[in-house]
Chain A
Amino acid sequence: MLTLEDLLIRQGDFTLRASMEIQGPGIVAVIGPSGAGKSTLLAALAGFVTPEAGRILWDGRPLTGLPPAQRPMAMLFQDNNLFPHLTAAQNVALALTRRARPTAAQQEEVAQALARVGLEGLGDRKPGRLSGGQQGRVALARASLQRRPVLLLDEPFAALGPAMKADMLDLVAELSAAQGMLVLMVSHDPRDARRVAGRTILVAEGRADPPRDTSALFDDPPPALAAYLG
């Protein structure tokens, strides 16, 4: 369980408060107007932004002061999720080892992870020779191999077309179910949330609300969400 305890994030004039408990596994959408702090909230969870007050706990253990790599979280960003100078397989292998040469067993694991996301045999390609959708799949393969209980998605598929994005979300749902992961997924499209997320966190007006049932939230939106949805 992920706990946000009286969390206060301040960046210049911007403030965001959050207090909630999020039970894993499952997919939770994080939705709200742009600039409300969806990405900032994820950055704080991942350890890139230090909160001014409050604590973040995973299963009761506070994460305060832990560097990003030591938190129980994997994260995909809006862009630059792969190193262009490494092959797909080398990028995925970073989930298992920081060494330049993975062991044979690790290479086998990488090949399987790539196969699971439908990229069998493409491990030797560098990102420049993969389509946008394939790059997203490589990044997901790496995230799944990291075997962290929480996956943070900061709109990594925003640049993809609607059909491709839907495929990606389905793949995320598959991985989440298979590995029992809690996925927090930033989105500005209610259709994404309805498609895969059982629960939704609304971020608006300087506050992140505790997760609510997605259908219930959209069927009876509070004023801030209603204003955003238009």
Chain B
Amino acid sequence: MVRAGGLSALGPADYAALRFTVLQALASAAFSVLLAVPVARALARRRFPGRGTLVTLLGAPFILPVIVAVLGLLAAFGQNGLVSRGLMAVGLPPLDVYGMHGVVLAHVFFNLPLATRLILQGWLAIPAERFRLAESLGFGPMTMLRVLEAPMLARVAPGAFAVIFVICLSSFAVALTLGGGPSATTVELAIYQAFRFDFDLGHAAMLGLVQLGLAGVAGLAILAVRVPGVSGAGLDRAVSRQDARGAVARAVDAAAIGLAAAFLLLPLAMILSRGALGLAELPASVWQAAGHSILVALASTLLCVALALPLAGRLGDVIGLAGIAVSPLVIGTGLFLLVRPYANPFTLALPVTALVNALMSLPFALRALGPEVAQIRADYDRLAQSLGLTGWRWWARVALPRLRRPLGFAAGLAAALSMGDLGVIALFADPDRATLPLQMYRLMGAYRMEAAHGAALLLLALSLGLFWVFDRGGRVDADA
């Protein structure tokens, strides 16, 4: 930051950005958690065909490229979207998803599934015996809620709220596409604008400090509440409950699951159906950008794994949690300022993107690998030592073969996140060095919607495909 050549003071627009950032994050977290409660309850007490698939799908938004989701949301809920056309057909005004409510809508789309998983975990952690005991005592639904469910929610919901709040604080791609303007600019977006449009590096650096401060405060907040981890295991259980048998309860649960599934699946269905038409119209620039993206994603994956392995098991969860609060744009701005005296940063757009993406994925990789490395050390360290398998031999012959599963998963995450990232590349890119998400954003900006939908489908396929290949690679022939 010192290299920015003097910091400039914050103006009224910056304070507006700060306020908007905090407000939209609060609203996004609140809606995500509130809406997740009925969905989680329904999933906790119902069994139906497709329930397992739905729970799995709740994990998918994590590797879904933001720009793809935004385009899908526009196609579903935008001014010319499916829902708006339905409204106009019956004489109502169309929806407008730009601005605050658009940003919150997209954040809820991404974080409702996360909140649902966290709260579902809490629900399923209540022992089935307690529900049986409650039934034998003749508890009605209200008593059940007060005695069993409210205490659980009081424990789990603040953690879910905090995580989502922090994630939304550093939102860039959503604000870039659905926000903008003086009334709907996040600090991250303001950094980008100061950088890209005004080329006021001092201002960008100052905003970077603001974002760092914000992340710092949020990081402390997150440490204050107990943050639950998403284990993913054991979510396939449904508790059978007497109080859930009434017609009203059934209807409420069906509505919760149905609406949530529609809200989450409709935008993806729009991408699939419109994208198929657009694939034929893809300009050469999209294919070139896709090539860049694959290279960046692979380099980023390699870097992330190379960084994660020596660190795994040594850094605590605190670092992993802090990671989700750190902003790619801040790192990107910092790198730009560092590199500038020695080289033209714009020619380094792709390597810098790969590096920043690797750093962004690192906390997730550490969380996937850390416990496993610790377990391998606990189980096999003495055996390895007694056989002289130390140093690199320990890694080559003991740790890596045993880490295949979590390594594949972590690499898959890193690849998918990098593939779909629209962050730091937007700062650095010139026309020759676009990644696929950026190229897609440019197509959207030029109102070439057919091609944008085609690019979205391609991006979606590549992100999920990379994740699948790596994750699968870790599972095939792995030993328990």
Contact = CB atoms under 8 A, between A and B. Distances in A.
A100 interface: yes
Contact of A128 (B380, B388, B480): B480
A84 to B, nearest CB: 5
Interface stretch (A28-36, A74-82, A172-180): A74-82
A95 interface: yes
A48 B381 CA distance: 10
Contacts of A94: 387, 389
14 contacts: A47-B385, A48-B385, A67-B388, A67-B390, A69-B385, A69-B386, A73-B386, A75-B386, A77-B382, A83-B397, A83-B398, A85-B402, A98-B388, A126-B479
A46 interface: yes
For A48, A70, A85, which residue has the most chain B Cβ atoms within 10 angstroms? Answer: A85
B379 interface: yes
Interface of A: 46-48, 67-70, 73-75, 77, 80-81, 83-86, 94-95, 98, 100, 126, 128
Given A84-B479, A128-B480, A95 B387 contact: yes
B401 A85 contact: yes
B393 interface: yes
A83 B380 contact: yes
For A68, A75, A126, which residue has the most chain B Cβ atoms within 10 angstroms? Answer: A68
Given A69-B388, A85-B479, A128-B479, A98 B397 contact: yes
B401 A98 contact: no
Contacts of A98: 387-389, 393, 397
B57 interface: no
B396 interface: yes
B140 to A, nearest CB: 50
B383 interface: yes
Nearest to A98: B393
Contacts of B388: 67, 69-70, 98
Nearest to B404: A85
Contact of B387 (A69, A84, A128): A69
Given A83-B380, A94-B389, 18 more contacts: A47-B385, A68-B382, A69-B386, A69-B388, A74-B386, A75-B382, A80-B383, A83-B383, A83-B401, A85-B402, A85-B479, A94-B387, A95-B387, A98-B388, A100-B397, A126-B479, A128-B479, A128-B480
A79 to B, nearest CB: 8
A57 B383 CA distance: 22
Contacts of B389: 94, 98
Contacts of B480: 84, 128
A80 B386 contact: no
A154 to B, nearest CB: 10
Contacts of A100: 396-397
Contacts of A70: 388
Interface string B392-411: 01001110011000000000
A24 B312 CA distance: 43
Contacts of B401: 83, 85-86
Contacts of A74: 386
For A69, A70, A83, A128, which residue has the most chain B Cβ atoms within 10 angstroms? Answer: A83
Contact of A46 (B379, B380, B386, B398): B386
A84 B375 CA distance: 14
Contacts of B380: 80, 83
Contacts of B387: 69, 94-95, 98
A169 B397 CA distance: 30
Contacts of A85: 401-402, 479
Contacts of B386: 46, 68-69, 73-75
Contacts of B385: 47-48, 67-69
Contacts of A69: 385-388, 390
The 3 closest A-B pairs by CB, nearest first: A69-B388, A85-B401, A68-B385
Interface string B157-176: 00000000000000000000
Contacts of A84: 402, 479-480
For B379, B397, B398, B401, which residue has the most chain A Cβ atoms within 10 angstroms? Answer: B397
B132 to A, nearest CB: 36
Contacts of A46: 386
Contacts of A95: 387
Contacts of A128: 479-480
Contacts of A67: 385, 388, 390
Contacts of B383: 77, 80-81, 83
Contacts of B382: 48, 68, 75, 77
A8 B387 CA distance: 26
A77 B379 CA distance: 10
A85 B382 CA distance: 17
A80 to B, nearest CB: 5
